[in-house]
Structure 1
């Protein structure tokens, strides 16, 4: 059985989400809705779906999502039972009608082999009324390769199109970054737990994007940058061994560029990065890094002389 967990706050597209669950051709799933003390009470809407699928709705008294989105996800997951698989579906995202049926049709192929799976996805840009092409993914893929496709612009990824086992969730949980930015990316690297990610490409999750969302808004630049820096440092210190040499150098560059976007990179940062460039030695990349490091050292000495 699979649990569909919905951390609810916004009502604007929520009917579309619920309609997609009611339209599932296979009803072997349970839905758990955790209302984050939303000012847009959904109870009247939810009541119209009580006989269309198995549904549990809880309204929390406090708005936890404004403090920690990952903790809101986790308290919503805690509403679920003992289902082996879990999906966390955004309150403005929705499924193709065959998604649950497709999950069970593929079950024998991935059961016991993976801890994380994902469905095909597409974006709907509500501000422009544009739907993107469907993104398919390799059938079996390492979490490192999956993330690398994302940072090189070959794939996009959000929480809603993934499913994961309860066992791996209980082992790792979601790491708390500001706004939960990068929390899902870290989850797939950890939740996969040295197993590949399996992709189901014949069912689709549609993700609604708008200028009011965290992803689309420019209001959260400081928090996003803080999350990015912390996440890239985690990749470098804890997970770089999962990536090949080319991928590792790209991640090291991502960390440098995130710092350079707002400030000058200090010599201590280059000193921190040096062993990782040496371990993933590539002549051109190392030469460029060494030039920057020496330049930073000369600048540091000049500053010290004043």
Structure 2
């Protein structure tokens, strides 16, 4: 069975989330709601949906998401029982009626062959009221290729549209980045365990962008950029072998760009990059790196 984990904090859009779960045409799932000491407990709303689908509600006495969102995800996961597959659904996102049914329909195709499954998505822009066209994905794709397409602006990705095996989560865990920014990107590379991500394009997860969501907020850009720098460095250090040569060189450039959004690279950062440009040597890229390095250090 599938466990749908909801780290709950905001009430404003939560009924749409619950209604989408109650409307699933296949009820072979169980929901675990972890209330992060919210000032808006959803008890009255949950009473309304009692009996419409199987759920467990637990209120944590101390707020954790304010300091570590990934640790809040993880303690919500501990609420789940013996389900082997997990989805972490945002409390402002929602599913079309066939998400669970399509997951079971495709189960025999991806089980044992993939540890990460994703659904097609549409973006709900709360400010404009518009819903995007569907983002469809390759049926099977390396996790590194998927992230690289996102990096190049060719697709999008966020937490709610993914289902992952509990075994892979227990083995790897989430990277505890501030705001959980890029924690999901890193998870899919880690959790996939060199197996392809399997995509289900016939069902849609609706991902909401609003002023109350981390993605929609504009007052945390410095924090996000600092996390991006660390995330890219982690990929370069720990996952470089998983990327194609051209992709790795692009990651090195993106690491530079992320730092340059706020300041110049220091000598230590330039020297960090050098062994990778040598190991994944491409003459043009290496010469351009040397030129940027010399200009930056010696102000040529």
- Shorter-chain TM-score: what band? over 0.9
| Per-residue deviation, 1:102 | 0.3
Distance 1:227 1:24 in 2: 36
Distance 2:58 2:93 in 1: 20
Distance 1:25 1:142 in 2: 31
Aligned Cα root-mean-square deviation (Å): 1.1
Distance 1:117 1:82 in 2: 19
Alignment length, in residue pairs? 300
| Per-residue deviation, 1:10 | 0.6
Q: TM-score, normalised by structure 2?
A: 0.98
| 2:45 is the alignment partner of 1:45 | yes
- Report the counterpart of residue 118 of structure 1 in structure 2: 118
- Report the counterpart of residue 266 of structure 1 in structure 2: 266
Distance 1:294 1:131 in 2: 47
- Report the counterpart of residue 245 of structure 1 in structure 2: 245
- For the residue of structure 2 that corresponds to 1:21, the secondary structure is helix
- 4+ runs of 1 displaced by more than 6 Å? none
| Per-residue deviation, 1:222 | 2.4
- Report the counterpart of residue 20 of structure 1 in structure 2: 20
Distance 1:277 1:50 in 2: 58
Query: Is residue 87–residue 163 contact of structure 1 (8 Å, CA) maintained in 2?
Result: yes
| 2:182 is the alignment partner of 1:182 | yes
Distance 2:268 2:57 in 1: 51
Distance 2:130 2:29 in 1: 30
Distance 1:151 1:3 in 2: 29
- Report the counterpart of residue 85 of structure 2 in structure 1: 85
Alignment of 1:283-294 (within 5 A): 283-294=283-294
- For the residue of structure 2 that corresponds to 1:58, the secondary structure is strand
- For the residue of structure 1 that corresponds to 2:124, the secondary structure is strand
- Please, which runs of 5 or more residues in structure 2 have no aligned partner? none
Residues 193-227 of structure 1 deviation map (CA, whole Å, 9 limit, x = unaligned): 11110000001100010133211111112221221
Distance 1:255 1:4 in 2: 34
| Per-residue deviation, 1:268 | 2.2
Alignment of 1:139-150 (within 5 A): 139-150=139-150
Query: Is residue 178–residue 226 contact of structure 1 (8 Å, CA) maintained in 2?
Result: no
| Per-residue deviation, 1:161 | 0.2
| Per-residue deviation, 1:277 | 1.1
Residues 11-34 of structure 1 deviation map (CA, whole Å, 9 limit, x = unaligned): 111110000000000000000000
- For the residue of structure 2 that corresponds to 1:202, the secondary structure is strand
